[in-house]
Amino acid sequence: MTTNKIEIKDLTVNYVDNKRSFNALHDVSFGVGRGEFVSVIGASGCGKSTLLSVLEGLYAPAGGSVQIDGRELHGTGSERGVVFQHYSLFPWMTTKKNIEFGIKQTRHGLKRSERAKIADEFLTKVGLADSGSKYPSQLSGGMQQRAAIARALAMDTEILLMDEPFSAIDPKNRVILQELLLSLWEGDGSEERKTVVFVTHDIDEAILLSDKIVVLTAHPGTVNEVVNVPFERPRSRADLVRTEEYGRFRNKLLSLLNTDIAERIGGDEVVL
Ligand SMILES: Nc1ncnc2c1ncn2[C@@H]1O[C@H](COP(=O)(O)OP(=O)(O)OP(=O)(O)O)[C@@H](O)[C@H]1O
Ligand SMILES: [Mg+2]
């Protein structure tokens, strides 16, 4: 019996393009524990978004399996919420209506007024209490992504799938959003944490947020190594980066990413 919330076993994914089959992921295996925050890092094109599409149930694998709570995954499900790189709010709904709509998809049986109350709570949590009646086009990119996070959290799914949600945000706001996500996910300990699979290019982001980091090799994506993040929670970026251990750990991740690149260019390990 599996103890993991998500169990990925020998996952292989192919795309068919112009009648040619293209291997995007090969024999990928790792587990995500209940309430665990797992990041997936790897070079562009190594199959990170493909992996999330499979977990979301949008794309069927060519081989292997994905189980959620011990049951084979088939199609999309209301236990999974998603946040993408590009702002995914509906442009024709106000910010608050976007959140209410999300809640309606996953939390059945709530009255309209209850959905509105929850939407207000989450807008406040992400600092958008005054922006609920604005349309997404009236918000900055960072504000739109805050709203997308508010919607995903308000939907209260057991699993959150996030594909580079902060990559289009400027560095300053990115740091603010990372810390916001961290504090909302860590919570005050009174509620069970959500199980998160988070795709990123950013090593520091992965370290700050994750319990565990899955390093994929470049094309086709295979698991190079699964690394446990050794830093206690609650975490703050300022405290983390001051420690020597942080630098060592960061270098280890960089060299795991770079061994793969070095092999491809036929050189020694690249040290950045
Ligand atoms: N629908 C598709 N049809 C054919 N090939 C695809 C399709 N989607 C992705 N690919 C290819 O599969 C590989 C993995 O793509 P994927 O988008 O999963 O990479 P990624 O790791 O998310 O990259 P990035 O970091 O740039 O977002 C790439 O070579 C890409 O060109
Ligand atoms: Mg991607």
pLDDT band of 27, cuts 50, 70, 90 = very high
Segment 152-180 mean pLDDT: 89
Res 212: pLDDT: 98
Cβ 80 vs Cβ 161: under 8 Å: yes
Segment 12-26 mean pLDDT: 90
- The pLDDT tens digits for 114-150 are 999 999 999 998 899 999 999 999 999 889 988 998 9
Res 272: pLDDT: 35
- The pLDDT tens digits for 43-98 are 999 999 999 999 999 999 999 999 999 999 988 888 888 887 776 899 999 999 99
The answer, yes or no, to whether any atom of ligand 1 lies below 6 A from the CB of 50, is yes
Longest alpha-carbon distance in the chain:
62
User: Tell me: domain 1-79+195-272, CATH 3.40.50.2000, correct?
Assistant: no
Pocket test for ligand 1, best of 11, 14, 41, 48 (most atoms within 8 A of CB): 48
Query: d(Cα 84, Cα 162) in Å, to the nearest integer?
Result: 6
Task: Please tell me the residue having the least CA distance from ligand 1 atom 17.
Answer: 49
The answer, yes or no, to whether any atom of ligand 1 lies below 6 A from the CB of 26, is no
Average pLDDT, rounded, for the chain: 90
Task: Please tell me the residue having the least CA distance from ligand 1 atom 25.
Answer: 44
Q: Is the dihedral of CA 16, 22, 26, 28 positive or negative?
A: negative
Per the structure block, which two tokens stand in for 270?
A: 């690249």
Distance 87 CA to ligand 2 centre (A): 14
Instruction: Tell whether the model's pLDDT for residue 159 goes beyond 90.
Output: yes
Distance 44 CA to ligand 2 centre (A): 7
Task: Please count the other Cβ atoms lying within 10 Å of the Cβ belonging to residue 238.
Answer: 8
Distance 53 CA to ligand 1 centre (A): 10
Res 176: pLDDT: 86
